[in-house]
Amino acid sequence: MGAIVGLTGSIATGKSTVAALFAREEIPIVDADLIARQVIEPGQRAYDQVVQAFGHEILAHDQSINRVKLGQMIFNDQKKRAQLNQIVHPVIIEQLIEDRDRLIKAGHPLIVLDIPLLYELDLAKLVDRVVVVYSTTENQLIRLMARDQLSEREAQQRIDTQISIDEKKQRADYIIDNNGTKQQTETQFHQLLEILFSM
């Protein structure tokens, strides 16, 4: 039978790492971060509104939006973040649903929606089951600082914009514990895959 699976976690707990394992099995993935990137490209649906709201200082020479600058603006300013969210989230959600429905129609037995803000945006209703990729808040902070070259303060600020990973863990249907090695994560992934394919 199969299912539509929501893949989530909190920032830097390992969603992309697990999404790559699904991709390796040729399971189709709808990636909300990728959609978020696409909708603010020049000429795309949310570009004009974002530039109008945040000004030309967020633009690079080629008129594309400088994501690092926009990130610096919104992650330490709740009002600006709400303003960006209000512009882009409805467009992202519409695209997520469109992509999901296209894959359902194509008859895929298992479809993954990789959505970092699945619980924050109340999107569990788009999927049959939710998988949370869990790491302790200590590992989350260390990995985020290392990956994005952020200070502890900057990394903590980004973590604090999301529902805590402990709460997401409580709400999950399935948990992948990503505190160990990537190999240990992969072992759990294969166990989960068997369950998902037998649904």
Ligand X SMILES: Nc1ncnc2c1ncn2[C@@H]1O[C@H](COP(=O)(O)OP(=O)(O)OP(=O)(O)O)[C@@H](O)[C@H]1O
Closest residue to ligand X using C-beta atoms: 16
**Total number of residues shown for the chain:** 199
Among 17, 112, 172, 176, binds ligand X (CB under 6 A): 17
Question: What one-letter code names the amino acid at 135?
Answer: S
Indicate whether 112 belongs to the interface with ligand COD (CB under 6 A): no
- Span 13-52, contacts to ligand COD by CB under 6 A: 32-33, 36
C-alpha–C-alpha distance, residues 132 and 18, integer Å: 10
Indicate whether 85 belongs to the interface with ligand COD (CB under 6 A): yes
Contact 46, 156 (CB under 8 A): no
62 DSSP assignment: T
Q: Which is nearer to ligand X, 100 or 158 (CB)?
A: 158
Residue 88's binding partner out of ligand COD, ligand X, none, with CB under 5 to 8 Å set by partner kind? ligand COD
C-alpha–C-alpha distance, residues 110 and 197, integer Å: 7
Residue 162's binding partner out of ligand X, ligand COD, none, with CB under 5 to 8 Å set by partner kind? ligand COD
Indicate whether 76 belongs to the interface with ligand COD (CB under 6 A): no
Binding residue per annotation — 198?
Answer: no
Enter the tokens of residue 95.
């695209």
**Inter-axis angle of helices 67-75 and 152-159, to 10 degrees?**
70
Indicate whether 100 belongs to the interface with ligand X (CB under 6 A): no
Among 5, 7, 13, 22, binds ligand X (CB under 6 A): 13
Enter the tokens of residue 170.
């409580």
- Sheet hosting strand 110-114, strand order edge to edge: 29-31, 110-114, 3-9, 129-134, 174-177
Spell out the residues 6+ positions from residue 22 whose beta carbon is closer than 8 angstroms to its own. 7, 29, 112, 189
Binding residue per annotation — 125?
Answer: no
Indicate whether 92 belongs to the interface with ligand COD (CB under 6 A): yes
Footprint on this chain of ligand COD (rule: CB under 6 A) = 11, 32-33, 36, 67-68, 70-71, 74, 81, 84-85, 88, 92, 115-117, 161-162
Footprint on this chain of ligand X (rule: CB under 6 A) = 9, 11-17, 33, 116, 143, 147, 178, 181-182, 185
